[in-house]
Structure 1
Amino acid sequence: MMDIPRIGIVTISDRASRGEYEDKGGPAIRATLEAMLSVSWQAVTRIVPDEHDRIEAALIELCDREGCALVVTTGGTGPAPRDVTPEATEAVCERMMPGFGEMMRRESLKQVPTAILSRQTAGIRGRSLIVNLPGKPSSIEMTLHVIFPAIPYCLDLIGAAWLDTDPRICKSFRPEGK
């Protein structure tokens, strides 16, 4: 029997981490993944403040100790001084995957001109892929649908847990014979 893949979901928000604001980003990620994925999986959630060290610690814990194949973050990707999610992600990753951020911005620019201010990115830590999403729930759903077709094959290539999607919702791509 295969282990159930684990997916980390991290909300990065000062107010949500203090309980002053309802976390809407984390639940939006979870709902979108529940609709997309055709395999059983387990969510491992965290809410952390916009602090570089705390974000790094959460990402390391989810990748190294919790064994998450995929870690998806929301929040902290704008140009404001406390938006440090991309820097924390880069600090813990061995290799960056800039195509994910490029694709998310390209799609978001179809909706709003301020998408150019977004700094979403992705990177690999060991056998985990970390992806930084925007904070708005509608943007989370839109960007996940745009990038997710490449995620299962990326996970295959780094030796992570096997994920697949419901092709009626989101068709993942794997080369012939993979």
Structure 2
Amino acid sequence: MIRVLLADDQALVRGALASMLRLEADMEVVAEAGSGAEALEAAVRTGPDVALLDVQMPGPDGLAVAAELRRVLPACRVVICTTFGRPGYLARAMSAGAAGFVVKDSPPEQLVEAIRRVHAGLRVVDPALAAESLASGTSPLTDRESDVLRAASDGGTVSDISRSLHLSKGTVRNHLSSAMGKTQARTRAEAVRLAEGNGWL
């Protein structure tokens, strides 16, 4: 039996996935979670073979959960299953240790097969997303530029960002300017939108 953990903040989606997987003779859903923190707790408690994680969840997101699972449960294989098929998410998921990446509008049998293949030690990536990811390349943003854009995403001032990241205002302005240049944005709000749209944040 393949022991599967499901983590998705949308209860209807999570319930539908669980019902679908329970129809498979070789799969057992050992835990369901609605947030990143719940997913980590459930994974440590149940020791699943495969964790099926959404990207956007409260608390640590699916990518952060994948990275933490690689550290605390290295035998657990991770499949990211998301509505947001963004090239940047794929690159970040792979660097976080995910073995699979599928989008939620994939046919059900494709998701089931992805779980089996990942459990068998293979990597599975949505082919259209893989092609788009190769075409768009990796994120041009440095880690610090990404941090500053994330902090800017709630509309805070340079002073707010400076305080939250413990950087000088001048350094914050430099990072914002650089990020705007790399995303070819006219404003920092546009830079945030473009970076999020590409899955870089």
For Structure 1 versus Structure 2, the TM-score category normalised by the shorter chain is 0.3 to 0.5
Structure number with greater CO (CA < 8 Å, separation at least 6) is: 1
Give the structure with the higher percent helix: 2
Query: Based on CA coordinates, which of the two structures has the bigger radius of gyration?
Result: 2
